[in-house]
Structure 1
């Protein structure tokens, strides 16, 4: 997969990406690398020409400049997001991974969502499949969709993201999400919007019936199990898989135990090997070649 970034005559940045989900994730990583290069270039330009530039092992993004602004601290991040939401004119796109959100957060958001929808704002939100088993989230979704918002779910997708009017985006700047990057570079915002739209097209509408988790499970468990299998084959740890799929560690381990039973594996390492071998054989059958 090749990601091309070309500066045009009018100063815009053109990014070309093949329509493949794995490629989208890889490309998003490369965008992050490009932002790191931008950070180093700005630091070098600002430095005294007579003073050599000392490069640290982990370059720190500039606080402000070139369409990117780093915001540190949860209160400051929330204030910056709220400031943009207060001025929204037509659309809010949000991606909320990591499974169910605290009920107090959902309750606090209801009035704001109602006001924005009443003002004619289009709202779309992506959650993970695991939220379908959380009662507070289901109640929240039932309420906001009755106002006119749209909600869909996926087994796994990219990091947390908010896009306002397709002109400003917020993404985490560190793993703890105590820092964020406010992006106003239109080329990058358009790129992130395209990533959201691709995920939205693959996502499934949030159901309200059946209400019981046991009855709703068949709709999403195969997708969750498929994602667990893929991540196990890649050698991911239980903790990382649980975080990426928005599951509790206990729930993830229950899924892994069931997979070990199904494949006759005695331990996790053997399970990854057997599933990888099964996947390889299936691909070989499809192509008509021997898996050996």
Structure 2
């Protein structure tokens, strides 16, 4: 709770214990907290230095929280104000420096699969708050299942958003990776087509693969903060707004692995029905949906027929609309 003020968990524990035990000696406090005497003594020394604890004879007493902690909070608040002023000054210095930079400093051309893969992972590690991707096939530098940078970014608390092209989602390896990403907290949306592959780390840097000649070496462009990068930022956000969201209703690719997938729920549909509808609404073909869920095409079509009868509609488009509005998918 007091970590934001620079206190360690041990220091906070000792301080809170002293609030109800004024005048307690270090040895008694260590016994009460079931900690070693050296740990408690070290914490007390630091608390005295912070002004949160004062010596009282042979013991120690906690300073009143409203006074001691209030002073620390005020100091932190003043420090943050100073940092904000510094941020504004640094931002202006950066803006002025960028105005004078040449095109070659703002755009870096990368050639070769290994170099692109290296830059792709570097860019993900550089993200501090958000990471945004356009995913399309074919996968040349980083095949599905080999993107270790995404998990590392999520572990750091980075928000990851992905827009995936419908044809890419229909591929089994991409589908399985997408399900794993959903489980990890990645936000995923689907569109019919994307204009390019794209990776954006915050609003500071982006990576755009270049179209390669049939027998040529693949390349990519690394973009630093510039008008072009701002345009790509806007392109991602616009595409994201119009893309169809995917959620964990598509998770699980083996219907036989769970006994409750065919159990009817109060609204008349099953968990397997929800998986089918989620992929249907995302725009996948019947064959692609059947492949992802390990169903025969005939079995899938039988499920769709039953769902259309349940929704009282005549075709897949009407079923998708009905499912979306009823919360089935």
TM-score normalised by L of structure 2: 0.43
Q: Relative contact order, CA 8 A, sep 6+: which one is greater? A: 1
Higher Rg of the two aligned structures: 2
